[in-house]
A and B are shown apart, each in its own frame.
Chain A
Amino acid sequence: MSTKQEQLKAIFIEEAGEIIEKLDVDILRFEENPTDFALLNEVFRGVHTLKGNANAFGFSRLGGFVHHFEDVLDHYRSTKESIEVEILELIVNSVDLIKETMTCELDALPTLPAAYESNLEAIKALIAFKKGKPVEPTATTTAPAVLGDLASEFGLGCTDQYEQLLTQAATLMATTQEGDERIWRIDLTLDSDSYRRGVDCFVFIALLGEKAKGIESVFDCEKIPALETFVCDQNFMQHIGIVVLTAQSRVEIEENFEFLEAHEYRITPIDAAPKVETQAVAVAQAPVEATTAVASSAKSTIRIDTNKLDELFDSVGELVIAQNFIAQNEKIHAIADESIGRTIETLSKITKRIQDRVMSLRMVAIRDTFDKMKRVVRDTSKKTGKALHLNVLGEETEIDKTMIDSLSDPLIHIIRNAIDHGLEADSAARIAAGKSVEGTITLRAFHKSGSIVISVSDDGRGINKAKVLQKAIAKGIVTADENLTDSQIFALIMQPGFSTADAISDLSGRGVGLDVVKTSIEKLRGKIEIESVEGQGTTFSMVLPLTLAIIDGMLVQAAGEIYIIPTLSVVESLRPEREIVHAFQEKGEFISLRGQHLPIVRLGAYFGHEERRIEPWEGILVCVETEMGRIALMVDELVGRQQVVIKPLGKALARQREISGGAILGSGDIALILNIDALSPHAIEMSHA
């Protein structure tokens, strides 16, 4: 089987996915700021790559569409004409359509998205209008049109276009020109027997490309005959135009062509071209565009197998320990040599730096995911006709990359749900409720109790408890005589087969309900919490474990072992006065702290290795916030506070509820990280029940 081809295809799919994802974000940023032509350039580049790739893999329907879309972008990009709102809408929709068409192509579906034809027509009409040509007759099937387009793309119909493409390329390059770089145009005129002389134009392009910042070539394919009359050793591409942006001098460029006759090539600098006007504009904008180019190149990414990262992680662990050994070795210290001392110091610095870098590798800011969500919010807002404002908080919160990938879908679902069902049906209802016409959706990411929480809040009508309960009873999910708490009632809406939407809308309620969201979050070993106040709004919080995240931990000592409490859940730590400690008939101890009564959990005793019993006022109480309320953990002493990497304890100990993982301290010792939610007396009771 053609495995190579399949591999290439897999790469294409991955790349195309990335491009489309980036398009999505860029186009939205562009919508916010429609004069940012550097951004449009970025979009154009993405679309251009996508077109080439799609055609190369025979996705002609995608290719065809993208081709026309590219023309539209190119028009605005080169004219810098201001873009009307309707056209902007068309462009944004087109990106959507590209996404959908891509899916159709991948699944080899015979049908195309419903809007394909109409959108393509709209784009064609727009191009025709912009170019001042009459509207083409509508093509009944797209295939021939696509073929025609490809022909005009690769085989140039007229010299006009040949020149036009070269000029375009030169203008584009002028935007990134800097320093002593110049733009050269090279025209090759080769005979039909050039191959037999060992001359291949692609060699020149490759040679030039090596030293160039940008290179673009245009082939005159007019003379290429039909396949039947094609002769493989004959050169049919006799005119080749190359535009190159390079710091090389004319002499250096000429060296590449030393095997050609003088009449076969012509090198002309383009800078002196008659287009002084546009040149000036381009130069004026050059600094701005150059910086964006740098920014985007700095963000380039590389995909690495996570297993390799894990191995790297472990190796760095070894490195750190070996380095510590050297740094603390007394024999080495005894060597009174300044250079050795200095080298060891340098070694520790470098080791520390490597460790920090490697640790951050797997963690990515949630920003990109949130950026995608902006798009979802915008679309949903348009479709539902609800005006709203989006607040995004905690974009910098770092989260494990593997988790981010599986977060998008649940998040999209919850957001759509919040807008569609959460917000009031229309502005009149909002005004009646005394709220501003614009609804507010808040997207937030933050750390809490050693977890990462991603929440979506709306300021809509809230969940109607009575209605939910009634429906759940009607559906037989619960019985009428069950006594449910608020959060239990809210949780009902995530049960399979539960949907309170009276009418199934286009957005949510497509057969996949919140129960799917619930399952996918549970797969990540997370959970969903719902809070809602009727008339004020609803908050959906996805509480996710950190897996490999770095947390800020408080190191405590109890019964000779060091444990780590996630600092985020620590409220305060204190040595209590004897007066505030109370015992409760042998059932337990608690302290009264500013009107609150916190149960005391003796960590050492709970873990079953306390030799001597000390009184709470002799130890330290760390007050922590758990799911089941605040508790006071009693420890022997506080050791310190530091950032630690959570490592799993291995599958053998995966069932240890009280321990969420381990961390390796600077000394090489292991400290266990406490899952304080499992330590509250209530949780302990439940696990014993």
Chain B
Amino acid sequence: MAKETQQSRRERYLTFFLGEEQYGIAIDQIKEIIAMMKVTNVPKAPAYIRGVINLRGSIIPVVDTRLRFGMAQREVDMHTAIVIIEVQKINIGFIVDRVEEVASIDAASMSEPPRFGNHIDGDFISSMAQMEQNVVMILDVVKLFKDEELFNIEQIQKKD
């Protein structure tokens, strides 16, 4: 019985790797995962925006997640994937090194993110989860681009 109640508080996350670090994003924010495809460079755009892709007829921006997190850029290999995230009706692609799995994470194993020593601004991370040997950093996608007004621009336009 006890186990069942615990299970009902489990949530599912897509986990992926950037280098050695494992990250997770709530599954309901993920639209799809596609293989790396041709990205058209957009001149004068911020460096971490790699460009735009043609996702079956609609043009969506693609972010180099490594650059966004201040990591070094990396050659594309067969594991490189684009995770398409949909937040507030906006689609954005995130280039990641390798998609791992869809994991059910128990809410009980979640903890507050530490406030120290990561090259990632702690704001992006909503919580840390312990998964067997690994620690998964759960990303808050909305906060991720708050500074860059990716989402705010949309909101401002709606207010007009």
Distance A653 CA – B93 CA, assembled complex (angstroms) = 13
Q: Is B114 an interface residue (CB 8 A)?
A: no
Q: Which of B42-74 contact A (CB under 8 A)?
A: 42-45, 49, 52-54, 56-61, 63
Partner of A313, one of B38, B57, B145: B57
Main secondary structure of the interface of B (DSSP, over half): mixed
Q: Is B57 a contact partner of A650 (Cβ separation < 8 A)?
A: no
Q: Is A670 a contact partner of B58 (Cβ separation < 8 A)?
A: no
Q: Is B60 a contact partner of A608 (Cβ separation < 8 A)?
A: no
Q: Which of A482-525 contact B (CB under 8 A)?
A: 523
Q: Is A648 an interface residue (CB 8 A)?
A: yes
Q: Is A658 a contact partner of B91 (Cβ separation < 8 A)?
A: no
Chain A residue nearest in CB terms to B41: A561
Distance A314 CA – B145 CA, assembled complex (angstroms) = 25
Distance A320 CA – B56 CA, assembled complex (angstroms) = 9
Q: Is B131 an interface residue (CB 8 A)?
A: no
Distance A664 CA – B41 CA, assembled complex (angstroms) = 14
Q: Is A670 a contact partner of B57 (Cβ separation < 8 A)?
A: no
Q: Is A662 a contact partner of B153 (Cβ separation < 8 A)?
A: no
Q: Is A317 an interface residue (CB 8 A)?
A: yes
Known: A523-B160, A664-B59, A670-B59. Is A653-B45 also a contact (CB below 8 A)?
yes
Q: Which of A659-682 contact B (CB under 8 A)?
A: 659, 662, 664, 668-672
Q: Is B109 an interface residue (CB 8 A)?
A: no
Partner of A320, one of B42, B57, B154: B57
Smallest Cβ distance from A111 to chain B, in angstroms? 34
Q: Is A648 a contact partner of B40 (Cβ separation < 8 A)?
A: no
Q: Is B59 a contact partner of A318 (Cβ separation < 8 A)?
A: no
Q: Is A315 an interface residue (CB 8 A)?
A: yes
Known: A649-B52, A668-B54. Is A658-B44 also a contact (CB below 8 A)?
yes
Partner of A321, one of B56, B145, B157: B56
Q: Is B92 a contact partner of A561 (Cβ separation < 8 A)?
A: no
Known: A649-B59, A650-B90, A650-B91. Is A670-B150 also a contact (CB below 8 A)?
no
Q: Is B57 a contact partner of A318 (Cβ separation < 8 A)?
A: yes
Q: Which residues of A contact B151 (CB under 8 A)?
A: 651
Main secondary structure of the interface of A (DSSP, over half): mixed
Distance A648 CA – B49 CA, assembled complex (angstroms) = 16
Q: Which residues of A contact B60 (CB under 8 A)?
A: 650
Distance A321 CA – B41 CA, assembled complex (angstroms) = 21
Partner of B49, one of A652, A668, A669, A672: A652
Partner of A609, one of B43, B49, B90, B150: B43
Q: Is A607 an interface residue (CB 8 A)?
A: yes
Distance A651 CA – B60 CA, assembled complex (angstroms) = 9
Contact with A along B102-121 (1 / 0, CB 8 A): 00000000000000000000
Smallest Cβ distance from A611 to chain B, in angstroms? 14
Partner of B59, one of A321, A523, A648, A657: A648
Q: Is A654 an interface residue (CB 8 A)?
A: yes
Q: Is B58 a contact partner of A653 (Cβ separation < 8 A)?
A: no
Q: Is B153 a contact partner of A654 (Cβ separation < 8 A)?
A: yes
Q: Which of B144-160 contact A (CB under 8 A)?
A: 145, 148, 150-151, 153-154, 157, 160
Partner of B58, one of A317, A654, A658, A668: A317
Q: Is B92 a contact partner of A652 (Cβ separation < 8 A)?
A: yes
Q: Which residues of B contact A664 (CB under 8 A)?
A: 54, 57, 59
Smallest Cβ distance from B101 to chain A, in angstroms? 28
Partner of B56, one of A317, A648, A649, A656: A317
Lowest 10 A-B CB distances belong to which pairs? A317-B57, A607-B43, A318-B56, A670-B40, A652-B61, A314-B57, A662-B59, A650-B61, A651-B153, A651-B154
Residues of A within 8 A of B (CB): 313-318, 320-321, 523, 561, 606-609, 647-659, 662, 664, 668-672
* Extra pairs beyond A609-B43, A653-B52 (9, CB < 8 Å): A320-B57, A561-B40, A608-B44, A651-B150, A652-B145, A662-B59, A664-B54, A672-B40, A672-B52
